[in-house]
């Protein structure tokens, strides 16, 4: 998987992880992949819903030591 | 101007049957599952992440002739959206602490007088539909089905100048975390549990058995235990002062308890039937039923209490009027609603087997109580 950009949103509370992610993904080209690292558990559901609303694809996600990694492919 | 609403402000709107427009900016799933219920509330659900580019598109849907409250899970997103609306010239508020605060808010309401100047209070947790009780008499208090926010009860007792002597749970709860054990250890009170529900608990308790009588204060107030299995095998009701019947999760105002949350629906149907159709039938019709939950707002009286004559419930509650035993069996075992969030873990907490952090406890208790079948 080719990661174009990584966004560190660790420690941020809702709504900031999504706000930052949206701003960052706006700078990518279609098909490119953004890695986002978040620690806010509330973000889990929001990322899925936000991505599907915007047509983006979460190609992978994992959790390591309390940090959730999302890999989002821009629509 | 952004107005900060507390959960208590919203509770007044619910209890006083006022109008309120709620813009809920959580996910559609979260909103569908659980929201702030009010008789005269209107709702609009738009997730905050769909409003990042601006709120212009939804302005026509936001009324200007009533209070508007923006709500989210914890408050962050609601502040963001409320600020955007405010910049667009709208007067709106947000809920401090979000749905998390709403789930925790508790409103103490007086239910009635007891003998010798005693009082009975119902603690209404509107967001979760949990009801706890405190009976007070001559400087002493008994608490029944306390929720985990123990400060609410200890502070209330201090304000009333009474010492908490007895803490009772009608059964081992599966939908919310009990505060009973902690209140008892803080105050030196006795903690009572039905032994049949307490076989796996890892702490000491006083067994709550059929016919046990607890004397409160020096007055005539009696808290009498009435074994009433069905929701759990140990479920016990209390008759206070020959006036009030605390039914726990066996009988609600507009529904009855479900028998499956400890995993044994088939086994307990007969107990549930026996309790509702035989044991309770032998009690006085004039007793006021005080349950441990409500599910829908229609179960609230005009003053915000949840209470009704037993005789009225025998006439009006559908669950008490199913003549055919097979129909009853099928009603309480088939097509049950989903179980409460994290109910198995919650039972483990109430047995003292696991001790999650406050944050984890909050997550476990998210959502409606779902203890009833209708």
Which pLDDT score, from 0 to 100, does residue B219 have? 60
**Cα-based distances in Å from B97 to A56, B4, B18, B76, B298:** 30, 10, 21, 8, 26
CB–CB of A50 and B363 under 8 A?
no
Q: Is the CB of B49 less than 8 angstroms away from the CB of A42? A: no
CATH class of B106-369: alpha beta
Taking CB atoms and an 8 Å limit, are A53 and B80 in contact across chains?
A: no
ipTM entry: 0.90
Q: Residue B184's pLDDT is what? A: 96
Q: Which of A15, A41, A45 is facing B77, going by the closest CB pair? A: A15
A-to-B residue pairs, Cβ atoms closer than 8 angstroms: 40
Is B47's Cβ below 8 Å from some Cβ in A?
Answer: yes
List the end-to-end C-alpha distance of chain A, in Å, as a whole number: 16
* Alpha carbons B209 and B35: distance in angstroms, whole number: 38
User: Maximum distance among all alpha carbons in chain B?
Assistant: 66
Which among A19, A41, A49 has CB closest to B47? A49
SS3 A65: coil
- Say if CB B20 and CB B44 are below 8 A apart: no
The Cα diameter of chain A in Å comes to 31
Q: Domains of chain A by range and CATH? A: 3-73 (3.30.110.40)
Q: Each residue of A13-30: pLDDT tens digit?
A: 989 999 999 999 999 999
Return the CATH class of domain B3-31+40-102: alpha beta
B48 interfacial to chain A (CB closer than 8 Å): yes
What distances in angstroms separate CA B280 from CA B272, B273, B314, one per listed residue? 11, 10, 10
Query: What is the mean pLDDT, run by run of 10 residues, along chain B of 374 residues?
Result: 92 93 94 91 96 94 96 95 96 95 91 91 92 94 95 95 96 93 96 92 91 80 81 91 93 91 78 92 95 92 93 96 92 84 91 91 84 83
* pLDDT at residue B88, rounded to an integer: 95
B50 touches chain A (CB under 8 A): yes
Q: Contact B363/A41, CB-based, under 8 Å?
A: yes
CB-based contact B49 A45, cutoff 8 Å: no
Contact across the interface for B76 and A14, Cβ inside 8 Å: yes
State residue A45's pLDDT score: 81
Closest partner CB to B73 (pick from A14, A16, A53): A14
CB-CB under 8 Å, A46 with B29: no
Q: Catalogue the active-site residues of A.
A: 14
DSSP string, B260-274: -TTS-HHHHHHHHHH
pLDDT of residue B110: 95
Taking the Cβ of residue B32 and every Cβ of chain A, the question of whether any pair is shorter than 8 Å is answered with no
Domain ranges of chain B: 3-31+40-102, 106-369
How much is the pLDDT for B354?
94
Distances from the Cα of B296 to the Cα of B37, B299, B322, angstroms = 8, 6, 21
- Split at pLDDT 50, 70, 90, the class of A1 is confident
A19 interaction partners in chain B (CB closer than 8 Å)? 52, 80
Give the position of tokens 């507009």.
Answer: B254
Closest CA in chain A for residue B100: A42
Check CB contact under 8 Å for A15 and B363.
no
Put simply, the answer to whether B48 touches A15 (Cβ < 8 Å) is: yes
> CA of B23, closest CA in chain A: separation in Å?
16
> Nearest-CA neighbor of B141 among B109, B118, B122?
B118
Chain A CA closest to residue B79: A15
Give the chain B residue whose CA is nearest to the CA of A23: B52
Query: In this predicted model, what pLDDT tens digit does every residue of A32-75 receive, in sequence order?
Result: 999 999 998 877 788 998 999 899 999 999 999 999 999 999 99
Asked about B72 being catalytic, the answer comes back as yes
> Which residues in chain B have Cβ-Cβ distances shorter than 8 Å to A41?
363
Say what the pLDDT of residue B23 is.
98
Given B27, B29, B52, which is nearest A19 (Cβ)? Answer: B52
Res B220: pLDDT? 60
Torsion from C-alpha of B4, B7, B8, B9, nearest 10 degrees: 40
**B253 in A contact zone (CB under 8 Å):** no
Q: b/e map of B153-177 (b: 16 or more CB within 10 Å)?
A: bbebbeeeebebbbbbbbbbbbbbb
């Amino acid at each position: 998987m080719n990661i174009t950009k990584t966004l560190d949103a660790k420690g941020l509370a809702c709504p900031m992880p999504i706000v930052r992610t949206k701003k960052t993904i706006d700078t990518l080209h279609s098909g490119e992949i953004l890695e986002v690292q978040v620690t806010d558990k509330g973000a889990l559901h929001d990322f899925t819903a936000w991505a599907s609303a915007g047509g983006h694809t979460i190609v992978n996600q994992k959790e390591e030591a309390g940090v959730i990694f999302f890999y989002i492919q821009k629509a | 101007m952004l107005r900060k609403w507390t959960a208590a402000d919203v509770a007044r709107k619910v209890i006083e049957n006022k109008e309120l427009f709620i813009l809920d900016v959580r996910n559609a799933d979260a909103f569908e599952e659980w929201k702030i219920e009010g008789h005269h509330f209107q709702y609009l659900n738009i997730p905050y992440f769909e409003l990042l580019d601006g709120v212009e598109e939804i302005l026509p849907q936001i009324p200007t002739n009533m209070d508007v409250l923006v709500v989210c899970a914890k408050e962050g997103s609601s502040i963001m959206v409320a600020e955007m609306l405010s910049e667009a010239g709208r007067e709106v508020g947000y809920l401090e602490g979000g749905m998390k605060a709403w789930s925790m808010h508790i409103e103490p309401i007086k239910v009635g007088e007891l003998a010798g100047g005693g009082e009975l209070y119902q603690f209404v947790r509107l967001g979760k539909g949990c009801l706890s009780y405190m009976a007070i008499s001559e400087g002493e208090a008994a608490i029944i089905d306390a929720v985990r926010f123990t400060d609410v009860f200890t502070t209330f007792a201090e304000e009333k100048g009474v010492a908490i002597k007895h803490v009772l749970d009608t059964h081992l709860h599966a939908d919310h975390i009990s505060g009973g054990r902690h209140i008892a250890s803080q105050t030196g009170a006795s903690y009572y549990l039905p032994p049949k529900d307490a076989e796996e608990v890892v702490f000491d308790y006083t067994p709550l058995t059929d016919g046990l009588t607890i004397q409160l204060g020096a007055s005539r107030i009696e808290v009498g235990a009435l074994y009433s299995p069905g929701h759990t095998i140990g479920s016990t009701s209390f008759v206070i002062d020959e006036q009030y019947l605390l039914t726990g999760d066996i009988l609600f105002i507009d529904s009855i308890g479900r028998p499956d949350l400890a995993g044994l629906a088939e086994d307990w149907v007969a107990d549930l039937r026996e309790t509702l159709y035989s044991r309770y039938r032998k009690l006085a019709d004039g007793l006021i039923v005080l349950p441990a939950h409500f599910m829908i707002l229609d179960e609230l009286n005009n003053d915000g209490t949840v209470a009704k004559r037993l005789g009225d419930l025998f006439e009006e509650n559908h669950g008490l009027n199913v003549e055919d035993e097979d129909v009853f069996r099928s009603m309480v075992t088939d097509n049950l609603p989903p179980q409460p969030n994290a109910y198995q873990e919650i039972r483990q907490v109430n047995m003292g087997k696991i001790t999650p952090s406050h944050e984890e406890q909050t997550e476990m208790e998210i959502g409606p109580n779902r203890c009833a079948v209708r």
